[in-house]
Amino acid sequence: MQFTRRRFIQIAGAMGAYCQVPAWADVPWSKGEELPTLKVPAGSVDSHIHLYDDRVQPVAGASLTPPTASLADYRLLQRRLGLERMVIVTPSTYGFDNSLMLEGLAQSNGNARGVAVIQTTITDEELNRLDQAGVRGIRFNLSFGGTKIEELERLASRVNELGWHVQLVSPGNQLPGLESKLLKLPCRLVIDHLGQLSQPGGVTSDDFAALSRLLATGHVWTKLSAPYNTSKSGAPEYGDFGQVASALVKLRADRLMWGSDWPHPTMKSEKPDDAQILDLLAIWAPGEGDRRLILRDNAVELYGFDA
């Protein structure tokens, strides 16, 4: 008989009897109950999550409007995966409203950092307040809207004074055209979701060549997250995404970070199994030292967590 690794909680039943159920059997917006096989290092960071609340009005024309996904919900996934820290990213759903992200930071007991979406009219005082709250970057979303790309250099200069970075999400086929602009930024740059490189094509594409050159500078990071956004080979292996990930691990493991993308807002039907996706990292980065960089050390340095 094969036994799977599960942790259980006891629930009192009728007549004082107890039954055992998996402690994370009902993690919202995540499929599966099993623990990952991969053991993450202490202090690991999930570099990409979002929070949603039905009480907060989406901006007009928002493409992604998931139901409530709270910090309490996410902590169940943290326990399942063995993670300790997180980066909360304001989603396109709320435009320039960073209130849910800031609320999550306030409730995190120092175990979270934030990425905000800001307007060009933001004052220095407002930026300083965000910094004190734990914000460490600003996001430009070229896929679903937000701050205009024309403001990239101006805002990058302002947040660079705080030691923040710019975070960019865009279709991969836009990277070659943006490359020269991105290379001129004064601050550090994070590219979401492994650049969302075009598939099929992957490692042979112009997108991959541009992303590789950007990472090679040492001033650019990217996230191993959301393979379902671009993979054509699909779950559970996401083999085409994995080819790109493996190639970049060999190139600059010190510029990669792992992220869950919980609650997976682009997956509007069946959600993925987060433990299975985490376990793929053992294939993409077979070296323990590389995984330690990707799961902990790179994000600790970039976001300013305690070592």
Averages of pLDDT over runs of 10 residues in the chain (307 residues) are 37 38 72 95 98 96 94 97 98 96 97 97 97 98 80 95 96 94 96 94 95 97 97 96 98 98 94 97 98 98 94
Q: What is the pLDDT of residue 22?
A: 55
Long-range contacts of 124-128 (CB under 8 A, 24+ apart): 127/158, 127/159, 127/162, 128/162
Least Cα distance to 134 among 160, 114, 117 occurs for 114
Residue 31 dihedral angles phi and psi, to the nearest 5°: -90, 150
pLDDT digits (tens, 9 = 90+) for 267-281: 988 999 999 999 999
Give how far Cα 207 sits from Cα of 37, 244, 294, Å: 32, 11, 22
Q: What is the model's pTM?
A: 0.91
H helices present in 118-233, as ranges: 124-133, 152-160, 175-183, 206-216
Q: Which of 127, 45, 82 is nearest to 305 (CA)?
A: 45
Sign of the torsion angle spanned by Cα atoms 176, 178, 181, 182 = negative
Place of tokens 């396109």: 92
pLDDT of residue 269: 85
Select from 243, 241, 273, 307 the least CA-distant residue to 77.
273
Strand, helix or coil for residue 291: helix
Among 64, 104, 65, 81, smallest CA distance to 30 is for 81
- Please indicate whether residue 297 is annotated as part of the active site: no
Domains in the chain (CATH in brackets) are: 28-303 (3.20.20.140)
Active-site choice (46, 73, 207, 261): 261
271/265 Cα distance (integer angstroms): 9
Q: Residue 150's pLDDT is what?
A: 87
